Structure 1
Amino acid sequence: MSSTPRFRQGAGRLCLDFIRTLRHRGSPDVVEELPDAEALSAWVRQCGPCAAGGDADAAGARDLREAVHALITAARAGRMPDAHSLALLNEAAAHPVPVPRLSRTGRLDWQAEDPVRATLALVARDALDLATSPLITRVRDCAGPTCGALFLDISRPGNRRWCSMGTCGNRAKKETLRGRTA
């Protein structure tokens, strides 16, 4: 098993990391990272608090992802999302979330009857919270020309440009350097 994470994280909120599972959104190079139940379970294992298991409905998760994107996009513009997206989000948020349990060894474990559904409930709740908080004004579009990712800019000056300095920021710096030396 590879130690390299399969999915990108670091957007600043779980719901924004979930949106990133449609990589290069809005570009011709778009990549679907949740094509099937196996991929959804892998995302839950990597990004959620508890091990994946239960019913992994990839099509439903993709619908929820698009509803989260619609909500965040609308909230940034001071609007409400479409009724279908709002209904999907509210329905997902109503499901039980993972519950913390402290083991006899002092380790914190998270448990859920349906870990995938519980993790998606966390995603929906996080999206609803972000969309209604003042932090929504700090959600940014990555300046990478083909990235399409959203991220929460928690930098003090609030002028972060890239979703990740390790990928998009580094790529932009290399392009600038190539332009100067050419």
Structure 2
Amino acid sequence: MTPAPSFRSGSGRLCLDFIRTLRHRGTARPEEELPDSAALAAWVGRFGPWESVPEAAAVGHDAQARQLREAIHTLVAAAREPVEGGTARAAALTAALSTAGDTVNRIAALPVPAPQLDGSGRLRWLAAAPVPAVLALIARDAVDLVTGPSIDRVHECADPDCHALFLDSSRPGTRRWCSMNTCGNKAKKQTLRGRSVSRPEG
């Protein structure tokens, strides 16, 4: 059995974390992290409200999950179009909705996990179909993101090998890296290396 990928988190939104399951998007070497039902169950177990989800619950849903991921990416990319009197963004969103809107809306309409109190007063989550229920949460988060003011804080990582999207919650809104621990440190080391190479000897 193939080990589950080390899924990335920390984008600031559930739907953006989900988009990250296609790593190195837009490069010559993209990496698919949701190739099958086992990987999808592992992702839902990490990011959903349950500690784990059996693979059987994800069987038959991996293609749907990848379709949703790409639809969300299409919508987010369109919603991030520069605002030029609103016309460029509106046109981009209209085009994106014609190809991706139905997928996102259909999955957003599915039942989501329901909070319940157990006999000890502890919180538990119920869903007849846990994987589609979490996909519905992702789709609803995407709808909320692309229609709200937070979309203007969604940036793309400046690392040309990454391209991950993230919500910039910093006060100045000038964050460049999806993570300082990965891409930020990589860029910092490259800068220091370049300075040491260019520094004259003597």
TM above 0.5 = yes
Would you say the 8 A contact 1:34–1:40 is kept in 2?
A: yes
Following TM superposition, where does structure 1 have runs of at least 4 consecutive aligned residues deviating by more than 6 angstroms?
Answer: none
Q: Which residue of 1 aligns with 2:65?
A: 61
Alignment partner of 1:131 out of 129, 146, 150: 146
Q: Which shifted more, 149-158 or 100-109? A: 100-109
Would you say the 8 A contact 2:5–2:39 is kept in 1?
A: no
Would you say the 8 A contact 2:156–2:166 is kept in 1?
A: yes
1:104 deviates by 3.6
Structure with the greater relative contact order (CA < 8 A, sep ≥ 6): 1 or 2? 1
Identity %: 58
1:166 deviates by 0.9
Partners of 1:106 and 1:13 lie apart in 2 by: 29
Structure 2 gap segments, 5+ residues each: 82-88, 198-202
Structure 1 gap segments, 5+ residues each: none
Q: Which residue of 1 aligns with 2:76?
A: 72
Would you say the 8 A contact 2:71–2:104 is kept in 1?
A: yes
1:129 deviates by 0.3
Q: Which residue of 1 aligns with 2:23?
A: 23
Which amino acid in 2 is paired with 1:21? T
Paired residues, number: 179
**1:48 to 2:85 alignment:** no
Partners of 1:96 and 1:25 lie apart in 2 by: 30
Partners of 2:16 and 2:53 lie apart in 1 by: 20
Q: Quick check: which has more Rg, 1 or 2?
A: 2
Q: Which residue of 1 aligns with 2:156?
A: 141
**1:181 to 2:181 alignment:** no
Structure 1 vs Structure 2 CA RMSD: 1.6
TM-score by length of 1: 0.93
1:83 deviates by 1.6
